[in-house]
Chains A and B, each alone.
Chain A
Amino acid sequence: MQVAVIKYNAGNVQSVLYALERLGVDAVLTDDFDTIQKADKVIFPGQGEASTAMRYLKEKKLDRLIPQLRQPFFGVCLGQQLLCEYSEENDTTCLGVFPVKVKRFIPESHEEFKVPHVGWNNLLDLKHPLLNGLDETAFVYYVHSFFCELSDFTIAKTHYIHDFAALMHRDNFYAMQAHPEKSGKVGERILENFLRIGS
């Protein structure tokens, strides 16, 4: 199985590669159009800022490629947000796979709720085979200031200030706000479940 991890100018993807290595998966880090198109599975990781990341994807013409891919595709963190249609982060038009808006957390008081949302929080209302083996005691690691709104595509929520879309699914596209590569055994399970899709 060939797993492509999309390389772009968004934060550290090394930990994603190490996580796949621990699962015995040989992944290739690439921004090459053909390699991504031919891969059996694609992981779209990321940390960073939406408009800068979108600019890079456009330069590589990946903004056209990604929405048309048919293999299982997993967007993580900024990768989840970029799969949405619009992000409030620097007023950015995103890839539009999910008809969902990305908004900024606005706490009523920062004594109670800090932004960014940093740390371990649990999944709620889990409803998809991607989350097999997990329940509401499953904690995942978050670092983000923007969140995806709830929609019909939400397959698990997390509560911080209010509920937001922790994981989403539409056709061959999967997305997760937290970092599976940094979420201990829970994250490992989600990655394993994703890698098992279709096999």
Chain B
Amino acid sequence: MLTKRIIPCLDIKDGRTVKGVNFVQLRDAGDPVELAKVYSDEGADELVFLDITATVDKRKTLTDLVTKVAKAINIPFTVGGGISTVEDVKVLLGAGADKISINSAAVKNPQIINEMALEFGSQCVVVAIDTRNVDGIDFVHTHGGRKPTLLRTQAWAKEVADRGAGEILLTSMDNDGTKSGFANEITAEISAALSIPVIASGGAGNMSHFKDVFTFGKADAALAASIFHFKEIPIPDLKAYLAKEGISMRIQ
């Protein structure tokens, strides 16, 4: 039986793992290679690695780090942050990433999704969508959630799927950093409307939030960062809890 996936996200700045609270204040949460290995050994189903400074920093640091992480772990591994060209993707896949995630670049030039899917296959193209509800309407935001766009989240999600995205990583900017639970409503709406998997992100605070996003939220996978980095919720405990609650889980 296909299981729901638990995905720790490593936000990277200057080669270190950090997690922003509402994406603004940053706290150092350790060495990414070490964390990646711990997560892989603990039963994480996949890792996401977001370089939050990639748009301005040199790419080489990231590429080296991707290689180190890829050599250390044996679970799937997505890299995002500042990726805008087919060449960027080629470099990161060559360094050992299994999938790449694009966000702002896709909004700016949607055709890049088609190009990347054609060149590397849909399976390695994840489109990250940051959404925020403004007066009852869900709008896509870019640049780490700071910049609003005129795109409606639901319509954009459908468009990226049609253009060949393999998965959607949906982050609710309203919930991110609040620990009040995932944005189940919009996650369910998008997951039900699309044939590709949806990874829910933003708002995980306790174990029941994960149960909710897999049931009410219809998510295929759930992503979180700080609650894992600071060991508030150990992954083996979370997976045992979810399995007991009837959610299909890979238990090692």
Majority secondary structure, B binding face:
loop
Q: Decide: A120 and B5 in contact? CB cutoff 8 A.
A: yes
Residues of chain B lying within 8 A (CB to CB) of residue A47: 121, 123-124
Q: How many residues of A contact B (CB 8 A)?
A: 39
Interface centre among B5, B97, B197 (most CB of A within 10 A): B197
Residue contact A49 to B121, C-beta cutoff 8 Å: yes
Most chain A CB within 10 A, of B77, B98, B166, B196, is at: B98
* Closest beta carbon of chain A to B229's beta carbon, Å: 21
Q: Which of A21, A48, A141, A160 contacts B76 (CB 8 A)?
A: A141
A122 touches B1 (CB 8 A): yes
Query: Would you list which residues of chain B between 226 and 252 have a CB under 8 Å from chain A?
Result: 250-252
Within A8-48, which residues are at the interface with B (CB < 8 Å)? 11-12, 14-15, 18-19, 21-22, 47-48
Asked if B122 is at the interface (CB within 8 A of a chain A CB), the reply is: yes
User: Chain B residue with minimal CB distance to A110?
Assistant: B195
B252 adjacent to A118 (CB under 8 Å): no
Give CA–CA (A184, B75) in the complex, Å.
Answer: 6
- Report the separation of the CA atoms of residues A141 and B64 in the bound assembly, to the nearest whole angstrom: 25
Task: Output the residue of B121, B192, B196, B251 with the most chain A CB within 10 A.
Answer: B121
A120 to B248, CA, bound (A): 10
B101 lies within 8 A of chain A by Cβ? no
A50 CB to nearest B CB, Å: 11
Size range of the interface on B?
35 or more
CB distance from A172 to the nearest CB of B (A): 26
Contacts of B122 in A (CB 8 A): 116
Interface residues of A in 172-199 (CB under 8 A from B): 179, 181-185, 187-188
**Contacting residues, chain B, for A110 (C-beta < 8 A):** 194-195
Q: A12-B93, A139-B250 are in contact. Are A116 and B166 (CB under 8 A)?
A: yes
Beta-carbon contacts under 8 Å, A26-82 to B? 47-49
User: Assuming A21-B71, A184-B74, A184-B75, is B166 touching A118 (CB within 8 A)?
Assistant: yes
Q: Please, how many angstroms separate the alpha-carbon atoms of A137 and B252 in the complex?
A: 8
B74, A187: Cβ atoms closer than 8 Å: yes
Tell me whether A14 and B95 are in contact (CB under 8 A). Answer: yes
Tell me if B223 counts as interface (CB < 8 A to partner A).
no
Contacts of B71 in A (CB 8 A): 18, 21-22
Chain B residues closer than 8 Å to A48, beta-carbon distance: 120-121
Looking across the interface, which residue of chain A has its beta carbon closest to that of B198?
A: A114
The answer to whether B94 touches A22, judged by C-beta atoms less than 8 angstroms apart, is: no
Residue of B1, B75, B93, B121 near A14 (CB, 8 A) is B93
Residues of B within 8 A of A137 (CB): 251
Residue-wise, chain A 120-156 has the 8 Å CB interface mask toward B (1 for contact) of 1110000000000000010101111000000000000
Binding site for B on A (CB under 8 A): 11-12, 14-15, 18-19, 21-22, 47-49, 107, 110-111, 114-122, 137, 139, 141-144, 159-160, 179, 181-185, 187-188
Question: Could you list 16 A-B pairs, sorted by A, with CB under 8 Å?
Answer: A12-B96, A14-B93, A15-B77, A21-B71, A111-B218, A119-B220, A120-B2, A120-B5, A120-B250, A137-B251, A142-B2, A144-B123, A160-B2, A183-B75, A184-B74, A187-B74
Extra inter-chain contacts (11) besides given A11-B124, A114-B194, CB under 8 Å: A15-B77, A18-B71, A107-B195, A114-B196, A119-B2, A119-B221, A120-B3, A121-B1, A141-B76, A144-B123, A159-B1
